[in-house]
Structure 1
């Protein structure tokens, strides 16, 4: 089902204005041509056929109400479960290919992933941090994948309880562009002058424990974990303060790789071109006794 078959025409017919300025992206992200990693509701509504909405929430949350026409791929099918305390890493290409094909995804689609804001604590099946699913698909080679800023929470029409399903595709992940890196890569990167490891966790968590040499760029500077702020001047000021050039290598990290993915996506929209994600992030790093740790919980004399 395409966007033309749900809500847009109905909204127009009922006189609803398509302007959703309250949900618009920060102006600094709207200066380029075409769609960025993040899109807003106006941009979504302006599109026509051949658009695929992917709801990353659990099946029960999807069934209770989703954006009309969206298919449901819970994040647990794209990410690994808890493996030795490391949670939610993107599955390998070999694992992803048959899964994504079974849901009907293909390289020729324009895909929008969305989640929701939840007050509940984070868990492996959380609907927050859709940027991680964006990264999973983008680095798997999908050329037109985006994040709906605000997710289901900003939808201004009626939600649907009617499931949408695409026929399976013959997807082959032939255009992969790997930029998810492992801890050994991070260890080496920390010795380089032109590489920055940015930790997207909140300041409290970062101060307690972090990778030595990493720099805190809190997610609160740009997002509420589901929707971009309408003003990300604080993020831009922090990046300017750090003196990072647009072509410097940046590795994003956090606790699980989720906030780090949201940061990576917004950095991409800001024009940074050499981006990597340390997916294992702190939950992997802290378990290796041979790796250095920093922070108040890891103070050394």
Structure 2
């Protein structure tokens, strides 16, 4: 485990345990729509030996018009056991950006009742920089056995957020860039106006990472929330553009000892597309 967080594992530890039958490695890379990159193709070109690819837009609520919304527990169990994941395994997730989409998949597994799920500290960039093994060999598919138990309290919907913005006991914290939150920079999704939920605070997820896309130390993480005016004694609901990088904030808040948490699954993509959502801009 890493000294940065109990939810991080070191690259050295993972390399030593790649052949452990109870360890399963997951490539959870995801890119924004405007990045024009294919995460699955990049996985097939090179990945950590034995890793499987988790497509968070495929193991999702496919009836929703919103991206990668949380599926039902049955849909999630069906999807992950087809990847070969079973209850009782230790799941290690990484992404190609260091720390961006992997926390969303970590949060999803946690929300589905899995406690033994971790994130590779430094992600694939650190793994590559250290000269650790990569392969383009396909990982053999096998059927897993998985039962999911959805923790409904961890997930917030639009109605929850309409109440939350008027609740003095709740802080809403947005992981998007400051310009998008202020409404002065465009959103990456076409035809979606930028801005913020009334009363929300802004902690861009990139502010929580060092130059190598690794978490900063615990004191610096806590101070960043304090500097943003976040009252850490209150319940905190994290949000972002589509519910992905909000999970970076959730990971960090858990790391600094704050456990009264929710995540707005639809996030700004849902909020800004609904006429009944109040919006503030500078």
The TM-score normalised by the length of structure 1 is 0.76
Whether the 8 Å contact between 2:201 and 2:230 is mirrored in structure 1 is no
> Which segments of 5 or more consecutive residues in structure 1 lack a partner in the other structure?
1-23, 31-35, 119-126, 297-301
Residues 50-75 of structure 1 show CA distances to partners (whole Å, capped at 9, x for unaligned) of 11101124332111110112122223
Supply the distance in 2 between the matched residues of 1:257 and 1:111 (Cα, whole angstroms).
21
Residues 123-158 of structure 1 show CA distances to partners (whole Å, capped at 9, x for unaligned) of xxxx94211111111101112111113322211313
Report the 3-state secondary structure (helix = DSSP H, G, I; strand = E; otherwise coil) of the residue aligned with 1:262. helix
Alignment correspondent of 1:61: 42
Which has more radius of gyration?
1
Which residue among 78, 97, 110 is the counterpart of 2:59?
A: 78
The TM-score normalised by the length of structure 2 is 0.81
| Number of equivalences | 255
| Structure 2 residue 176 is the aligned partner of structure 1 residue 201 | yes
What pairs with 1:143-158 in structure 2 (closer than 5 Å)?
143-155=115-127, 156=130, 157-158=132-133
What pairs with 1:248-263 in structure 2 (closer than 5 Å)?
248-263=234-249
Alignment correspondent of 1:124: none
Report the 3-state secondary structure (helix = DSSP H, G, I; strand = E; otherwise coil) of the residue aligned with 1:294. coil
Cα shift at 1:233: 4.7
Residues 140-178 of structure 1 show CA distances to partners (whole Å, capped at 9, x for unaligned) of 1112111113322211313111122352123222x3323
Supply the distance in 2 between the matched residues of 1:294 and 1:269 (Cα, whole angstroms).
30
Whether the 8 Å contact between 2:60 and 2:76 is mirrored in structure 1 is no
> Which segments of 5 or more consecutive residues in structure 2 lack a partner in the other structure?
30-38, 184-194
Q: 1:89 to 1:77 in 2, by over 3 A?
A: same
Q: 1:93 to 1:231 in 2, by over 3 A?
A: same
Cα shift at 1:244: 2.6
Q: 1:90 to 1:216 in 2, by over 3 A?
A: same
Alignment correspondent of 2:36: none
Q: 1:233 to 1:81 in 2, by over 3 A?
A: farther
What pairs with 1:61-140 in structure 2 (closer than 5 Å)?
61-80=42-61, 83-84=64-65, 86-117=66-97, 128-140=100-112
Whether the 8 Å contact between 1:117 and 1:226 is mirrored in structure 2 is no
Whether the 8 Å contact between 1:82 and 1:88 is mirrored in structure 2 is no
Whether the 8 Å contact between 2:104 and 2:243 is mirrored in structure 1 is yes
Supply the distance in 1 between the matched residues of 2:83 and 2:26 (Cα, whole angstroms).
10
Q: 1:42 to 1:230 in 2, by over 3 A?
A: farther
Alignment correspondent of 1:141: 113
